[in-house]
Structure 1
Amino acid sequence: MFNFARKQVVDVTSTRPAVPPIDAFTEITEYDPKNWSISGEGSGVFVRGKAVSLPQSVQIQGDNCRLYIDNGCFVNGHIEIKDGSNSVAYLGPRTRLRNFHAVLSGDSCLLVMGEAATTEQAVFFVHGDNMQITIGEDCMLSSGVVIRTADGHGIFDAESRRQINKPAAVHVGAHCWIGNGARVAKGVTISDGCVIGQMSLVSKPTEPNSIYAGVPARKVRSGTVWSRTDMYDDIPAHLLG
């Protein structure tokens, strides 16, 4: 059994989206090699139940690198796992991931999309060894959202040569709404129930059930909850705290 993947998802579920046991998934062995490329010992794409759709493009290079797609997931886009081994991407049940682009680059990377999370157009860069991006249950990401664990290029102290912009994990809690064009920088934790205004840059941790906006994002209101419709009663009761 793929012990590394099991440990990764168990570690993250203590405070993050629940992930079923890995042995509940079945490997996909037939795919179009023009659009899917999988290489490396122990690597592959695995599904549980019936996925509504599968990614148009999958590129996996490295040992023990796996993509897990859970029951009822709709995903339209591209997923790439490269430049390392032992990395895991998990797309939770009933997720609706339109125009979804994810790149995991490094050893032991982890991407988790929680149950019923949605995207209209979002990019996730999990860059750096042991880095993670976790998105909680019922999160709603609008168009043009970018979340990343690293800047993509190193910045160093000229005298000591010490890197001063090292990668750091990103965690988004349950039932968060990230607006159009927003950016979430490395090392950020967005707490449960937050709303991030359009075109905002989140560079510091947030408080729960609050609205943040601006560059950099600042709290503009606290004590709020939000609904995917105009009706308060449409907010799932277990997400109201």
Structure 2
Amino acid sequence: MVETNLLFGGNYLQINNSNFIKSVFECREGHENTVILGTNTFMSNSILLIKGSNNIVEIGSDGFINGLVITVEGDNNKVHIGDKVFVLDDTRMITVDGSTLHIGNECMFSDRIDIRTTDNHAIIDMDTSKRINFEEDIIIGDKVWIGTGVNILKGSVIPDGAIVGARSVVTKQYQQNNSVIVGNPARVVRNNVRWTMER
């Protein structure tokens, strides 16, 4: 619970009066990485792995996070998780090679969710011998509810107040706030809705 500031190998970890229980922060290589855990956030059974330099991971205040794995590979990545965010279990977030994952405030993530700014492997155009699949940022707005088993792929934008249905595959940028997004590939099926934590 006590505010902790650690500086090791040029890397910085700050925990501000939050519970960091049965969780691991590991920086396998690199330097000048910054990890900040806000005030009054409960984080358990989670792993944060950084392999690179000049990366920033910010987790906001008043959240509940269980079973989250954040993997950051390469340099100059940024992961931002806002305030009052709930992550329930077995969720993975992967950022690679200078990309950004931004999650707004008051979001709720169910279990078995996969979010990645990368395809993880290169795809090469055989005519030009050049790579064609580069990393792309992901933006998730405020008060978004992500259902169980959802995959959110690189370049996706999910607007404020959206609901993403179970096992959907999100692949593009959506514009309409307070919408229901479902399917594979995901599409908007309803607008002008809002959700609450209560049943």
- The one of 188, 193, 196 equivalent to 1:224 is 193
Quote the residue 1:40 is aligned against. Answer: 9
Quote the residue 1:152 is aligned against. Answer: 120
- 1:215 counterpart = 2:193: no
TM-score under structure 1 normalisation?
0.77
- The one of 157, 167, 173 equivalent to 2:135 is 167
Quote the residue 2:25 is aligned against. Answer: 58
- 1:28 counterpart = 2:6: yes
The residue matched to 1:142 in structure 2 has which SS? strand
Structure 1: distance between partners of 2:21 and 2:40:
10
Answer 1 or 2: which has greater strand percent: 2
Q: Partner letter of residue 19 of structure 2?
A: V
- The one of 72, 75, 79 equivalent to 2:48 is 79
- 1:132 counterpart = 2:100: yes
Quote the residue 2:155 is aligned against. Answer: 187
Residues 19-58 of structure 1, C-alpha deviations (whole Å, 9 max, x = no match)? xxxxxx75137xxxxxxxxx632x021122x112346211
- Does the Cα contact within 8 Å between 1:111 and 1:126 map onto a contact in 2? yes
- Does the Cα contact within 8 Å between 1:197 and 1:214 map onto a contact in 2? yes
- Does the Cα contact within 8 Å between 1:195 and 1:210 map onto a contact in 2? yes
- 1:200 counterpart = 2:178: no
- Does the Cα contact within 8 Å between 1:55 and 1:78 map onto a contact in 2? no
**Mind listing any 5+ residue stretches in structure 2 that lack a counterpart?**
none
Q: Partner letter of residue 51 of structure 1?
A: S
The residue matched to 1:175 in structure 2 has which SS? coil
Structure 1: distance between partners of 2:22 and 2:75:
22
Give how far 1:164 is off. 1.5
**Mind listing any 5+ residue stretches in structure 1 that lack a counterpart?**
1-24, 30-38, 231-241
TM-score under structure 2 normalisation?
0.93
Quote the residue 1:123 is aligned against. Answer: 92
The residue matched to 2:188 in structure 1 has which SS? strand
Give how far 1:106 is off. 1.0
- 1:111 counterpart = 2:79: yes
Percentage of pairs with the same residue: 26
Q: Partner letter of residue 213 of structure 1?
A: V
Structure 2: distance between partners of 1:149 and 1:120:
21
Question: Comparing 208-217 with 55-64, which one deviates more in the overlay?
Answer: 55-64
Quote the residue 2:59 is aligned against. Answer: 91
